[in-house]
Amino acid sequence: MRTLEGIVFDLDDTLYLERDYVMSGFRAIGVCVEDSFGIEAQVVFEELQQLFQRGVRGNTFDLWLSSHPELAQKVSVHELVELYRSHTPEIGLLPRMPTLLSYCQQLGTPLGLISDGFLRSQERKAKVLRLERWIETRIYTDAWGKPFWKPHARAFEEIMRLWSSEPKRLAYIADNPRKDFVTPRRIGWKTVRLRIPAQLRYENEPFSAEYAAEVEAESVEQLEKVLEEWL
Protein backbone atom coordinates (compact mmCIF):
# COMPACT_ATOMS: atom_id res chain seq x y z
CA MET A 1 0.00 0.00 0.00
CA ARG A 2 1.32 3.44 -0.91
CA THR A 3 1.98 5.83 1.97
CA LEU A 4 0.11 8.73 0.37
CA GLU A 5 -3.39 8.86 -1.03
CA GLY A 6 -3.42 12.59 -1.74
CA ILE A 7 -1.07 15.57 -1.99
CA VAL A 8 -2.12 19.16 -1.30
CA PHE A 9 -0.07 22.21 -2.24
CA ASP A 10 0.09 25.78 -1.05
CA LEU A 11 0.13 28.34 -3.88
CA ASP A 12 2.27 31.40 -3.12
CA ASP A 13 6.00 30.66 -3.04
CA THR A 14 5.30 26.96 -3.41
CA LEU A 15 4.03 26.43 -6.94
CA TYR A 16 5.43 29.74 -8.22
CA LEU A 17 7.55 32.58 -6.78
CA GLU A 18 5.51 35.17 -4.94
CA ARG A 19 8.18 37.78 -5.76
CA ASP A 20 7.19 37.44 -9.42
CA TYR A 21 3.60 38.29 -8.55
CA VAL A 22 4.69 41.37 -6.60
CA MET A 23 6.77 42.63 -9.52
CA SER A 24 3.90 41.89 -11.91
CA GLY A 25 1.61 44.01 -9.75
CA PHE A 26 4.11 46.87 -9.63
CA ARG A 27 4.38 46.82 -13.42
CA ALA A 28 0.59 46.92 -13.75
CA ILE A 29 0.43 49.93 -11.45
CA GLY A 30 3.20 51.63 -13.42
CA VAL A 31 1.27 51.24 -16.68
CA CYS A 32 -1.92 52.58 -15.11
CA VAL A 33 -0.19 55.57 -13.50
CA GLU A 34 1.55 56.45 -16.76
CA ASP A 35 -1.71 56.24 -18.72
CA SER A 36 -3.67 58.30 -16.20
CA PHE A 37 -1.16 60.70 -14.66
CA GLY A 38 1.88 60.86 -16.93
CA ILE A 39 4.58 59.45 -14.65
CA GLU A 40 6.66 56.98 -16.67
CA ALA A 41 5.72 53.38 -15.97
CA GLN A 42 9.34 52.31 -15.61
CA VAL A 43 9.98 55.04 -13.03
CA VAL A 44 6.95 53.93 -11.01
CA PHE A 45 8.03 50.30 -11.20
CA GLU A 46 11.61 51.04 -10.13
CA GLU A 47 10.51 53.17 -7.18
CA LEU A 48 8.11 50.48 -5.93
CA GLN A 49 10.74 47.80 -6.52
CA GLN A 50 13.27 49.75 -4.46
CA LEU A 51 10.86 49.94 -1.54
CA PHE A 52 10.28 46.20 -1.78
CA GLN A 53 14.01 45.50 -1.89
CA ARG A 54 14.44 47.61 1.25
CA GLY A 55 12.09 45.22 3.01
CA VAL A 56 8.98 47.40 3.01
CA ARG A 57 5.87 45.25 3.36
CA GLY A 58 2.24 46.17 3.96
CA ASN A 59 2.55 49.94 3.51
CA THR A 60 4.44 50.11 0.20
CA PHE A 61 1.86 52.26 -1.56
CA ASP A 62 1.50 54.62 1.42
CA LEU A 63 5.24 55.30 1.40
CA TRP A 64 5.38 55.62 -2.37
CA LEU A 65 2.52 58.13 -2.51
CA SER A 66 4.14 60.13 0.31
CA SER A 67 7.00 60.85 -2.10
CA HIS A 68 4.52 62.02 -4.76
CA PRO A 69 2.22 64.47 -2.91
CA GLU A 70 0.60 65.81 -6.09
CA LEU A 71 -0.27 62.28 -7.20
CA ALA A 72 -1.56 61.46 -3.72
CA GLN A 73 -4.27 64.08 -4.24
CA LYS A 74 -5.50 62.22 -7.34
CA VAL A 75 -5.25 58.55 -6.43
CA SER A 76 -5.67 56.72 -3.12
CA VAL A 77 -3.82 53.83 -1.52
CA HIS A 78 -7.07 51.86 -1.66
CA GLU A 79 -7.24 52.33 -5.45
CA LEU A 80 -3.66 51.16 -5.88
CA VAL A 81 -4.30 48.11 -3.69
CA GLU A 82 -7.39 47.24 -5.72
CA LEU A 83 -5.44 47.55 -8.96
CA TYR A 84 -2.67 45.36 -7.54
CA ARG A 85 -5.08 42.66 -6.40
CA SER A 86 -7.18 42.67 -9.56
CA HIS A 87 -4.45 42.73 -12.21
CA THR A 88 -3.84 39.70 -14.41
CA PRO A 89 -0.47 38.45 -13.18
CA GLU A 90 2.54 37.56 -15.28
CA ILE A 91 3.80 34.53 -13.39
CA GLY A 92 4.88 30.97 -14.14
CA LEU A 93 5.29 27.71 -12.26
CA LEU A 94 8.65 26.93 -10.69
CA PRO A 95 11.02 25.00 -12.98
CA ARG A 96 10.29 21.25 -12.83
CA MET A 97 7.03 21.84 -10.98
CA PRO A 98 4.93 20.88 -14.06
CA THR A 99 6.93 17.64 -14.28
CA LEU A 100 6.30 16.89 -10.61
CA LEU A 101 2.58 17.60 -10.88
CA SER A 102 2.29 15.45 -14.00
CA TYR A 103 4.18 12.61 -12.30
CA CYS A 104 1.77 12.62 -9.35
CA GLN A 105 -1.18 12.84 -11.70
CA GLN A 106 0.02 9.88 -13.77
CA LEU A 107 0.19 7.79 -10.60
CA GLY A 108 -3.47 8.55 -10.02
CA THR A 109 -2.73 10.56 -6.88
CA PRO A 110 -5.39 13.20 -6.14
CA LEU A 111 -3.89 16.69 -6.04
CA GLY A 112 -5.32 19.60 -4.09
CA LEU A 113 -4.66 23.23 -3.27
CA ILE A 114 -5.15 25.13 -0.01
CA SER A 115 -4.27 28.80 -0.32
CA ASP A 116 -4.77 31.94 1.74
CA GLY A 117 -4.91 35.40 0.23
CA PHE A 118 -7.61 37.56 -1.28
CA LEU A 119 -9.97 35.41 -3.28
CA ARG A 120 -9.91 37.30 -6.59
CA SER A 121 -6.13 37.42 -6.61
CA GLN A 122 -5.71 33.74 -5.82
CA GLU A 123 -8.21 32.69 -8.47
CA ARG A 124 -6.44 34.80 -11.09
CA LYS A 125 -3.08 33.28 -10.19
CA ALA A 126 -4.47 29.76 -10.49
CA LYS A 127 -6.04 30.58 -13.85
CA VAL A 128 -2.83 32.06 -15.27
CA LEU A 129 -0.84 29.06 -14.02
CA ARG A 130 -3.49 26.74 -15.52
CA LEU A 131 -3.59 24.69 -12.33
CA GLU A 132 -6.80 23.00 -13.44
CA ARG A 133 -4.62 20.80 -15.66
CA TRP A 134 -3.41 18.96 -12.57
CA ILE A 135 -5.32 20.14 -9.50
CA GLU A 136 -9.04 19.54 -9.40
CA THR A 137 -9.68 20.30 -5.72
CA ARG A 138 -8.81 23.93 -5.06
CA ILE A 139 -9.69 25.59 -1.76
CA TYR A 140 -9.24 29.33 -1.33
CA THR A 141 -9.76 30.01 2.35
CA ASP A 142 -10.80 33.61 1.74
CA ALA A 143 -14.06 32.28 0.27
CA TRP A 144 -15.03 31.62 3.92
CA GLY A 145 -13.50 34.86 5.20
CA LYS A 146 -10.15 35.81 6.68
CA PRO A 147 -10.82 34.10 10.04
CA PHE A 148 -10.57 30.81 8.12
CA TRP A 149 -7.12 31.51 6.66
CA LYS A 150 -4.40 29.16 7.88
CA PRO A 151 -3.71 28.00 10.53
CA HIS A 152 -7.47 27.44 10.82
CA ALA A 153 -8.29 23.76 10.33
CA ARG A 154 -11.38 24.11 8.12
CA ALA A 155 -9.62 23.75 4.76
CA PHE A 156 -7.73 20.62 5.84
CA GLU A 157 -10.88 19.08 7.26
CA GLU A 158 -12.68 19.85 4.01
CA ILE A 159 -10.03 18.02 1.99
CA MET A 160 -10.38 14.95 4.22
CA ARG A 161 -14.16 15.07 3.83
CA LEU A 162 -14.06 15.48 0.04
CA TRP A 163 -11.49 12.73 -0.45
CA SER A 164 -12.67 10.44 2.37
CA SER A 165 -9.02 10.14 3.40
CA GLU A 166 -7.27 9.44 6.68
CA PRO A 167 -4.94 12.24 7.82
CA LYS A 168 -1.88 9.99 7.75
CA ARG A 169 -2.47 9.36 4.02
CA LEU A 170 -2.27 13.06 3.11
CA ALA A 171 0.61 15.50 2.68
CA TYR A 172 0.73 19.28 2.63
CA ILE A 173 3.53 21.08 0.78
CA ALA A 174 4.05 24.75 1.54
CA ASP A 175 6.64 27.41 2.40
CA ASN A 176 5.65 29.39 5.50
CA PRO A 177 6.78 27.90 8.85
CA ARG A 178 4.80 30.50 10.78
CA LYS A 179 1.34 29.21 9.76
CA ASP A 180 1.37 26.47 7.11
CA PHE A 181 2.35 23.32 8.99
CA VAL A 182 1.15 23.56 12.57
CA THR A 183 -2.44 22.53 11.81
CA PRO A 184 -1.88 19.67 9.34
CA ARG A 185 0.81 18.26 11.65
CA ARG A 186 -1.53 18.43 14.63
CA ILE A 187 -4.23 16.64 12.65
CA GLY A 188 -1.81 13.96 11.49
CA TRP A 189 -0.88 14.94 7.93
CA LYS A 190 2.60 14.62 6.51
CA THR A 191 4.20 18.01 5.86
CA VAL A 192 6.98 19.24 3.61
CA ARG A 193 8.51 22.69 3.54
CA LEU A 194 9.80 23.72 0.13
CA ARG A 195 12.62 26.10 1.06
CA ILE A 196 14.45 27.83 -1.76
CA PRO A 197 16.42 31.12 -1.55
CA ALA A 198 14.14 33.14 -3.87
CA GLN A 199 11.14 32.77 -1.53
CA LEU A 200 10.01 35.76 0.53
CA ARG A 201 9.99 33.75 3.76
CA TYR A 202 13.10 31.70 3.03
CA GLU A 203 14.86 32.89 6.20
CA ASN A 204 11.86 32.52 8.51
CA GLU A 205 12.11 29.91 11.21
CA PRO A 206 9.15 28.23 12.93
CA PHE A 207 7.92 29.65 16.24
CA SER A 208 8.42 26.23 17.83
CA ALA A 209 8.81 22.58 16.92
CA GLU A 210 5.04 22.26 16.47
CA TYR A 211 5.18 24.80 13.64
CA ALA A 212 7.97 23.08 11.72
CA ALA A 213 7.41 20.82 8.74
CA GLU A 214 8.25 17.14 9.05
CA VAL A 215 10.64 17.41 6.07
CA GLU A 216 12.44 20.29 4.33
CA ALA A 217 13.20 20.18 0.61
CA GLU A 218 15.73 22.68 -0.75
CA SER A 219 14.64 22.31 -4.36
CA VAL A 220 11.80 20.93 -6.44
CA GLU A 221 14.12 18.03 -7.28
CA GLN A 222 14.46 17.19 -3.58
CA LEU A 223 10.71 17.50 -3.20
CA GLU A 224 10.30 15.00 -6.04
CA LYS A 225 12.49 12.50 -4.19
CA VAL A 226 10.50 12.88 -0.98
CA LEU A 227 7.21 12.32 -2.76
CA GLU A 228 8.58 9.41 -4.80
CA GLU A 229 9.55 7.72 -1.56
CA TRP A 230 6.11 8.27 -0.04
CA LEU A 231 4.28 7.28 -3.21
In a domain, 214, yes or no: yes
Q: What is the CATH number of the domain that holds 109?
A: 3.40.50.1000
Look at residue 1 and tell me whether its pLDDT is greater than 60.
no
Count of domains forming the chain: 2
For 39-66, write each residue's pLDDT tens digit. 999 999 999 999 999 999 999 999 999 9
* Nearest of 76, 26, 29, 13 to residue 53 by alpha carbon: 26
Same domain assignment for residues 80 and 140: no
Confidence category of residue 3, pLDDT binned at 50, 70, 90:
confident
Cβ neighbors of 121 (< 8 A, separation 6 or more) are 85, 86
Give the CA count within 13 Å in the CB-facing half-sphere of 164.
0
Q: What pTM was estimated for this model as a whole?
A: 0.94
Q: In the predicted model, what is the mean pLDDT of the chain?
A: 96
Which of 86, 109, 140 lies at the terminal end of a domain, its last residue? 86
Rounded Cα distance between 4 and 67, Å, is 53
Domain final residue pick, 70, 86, 102: 86
Q: Are 29 and 127 members of one domain?
A: no
Is residue 1 in a domain? no
Determine the structural domain holding residue 145 and report its residue range: 6-17+92-230
Q: Based on the fold, state whether residues 105 and 49 are members of the same structural domain.
A: no
Question: Are 148 and 195 found together in one domain?
Answer: yes
- Which of 35, 67, 86 is where one domain is finished? 86
- pLDDT for 228 equals 93
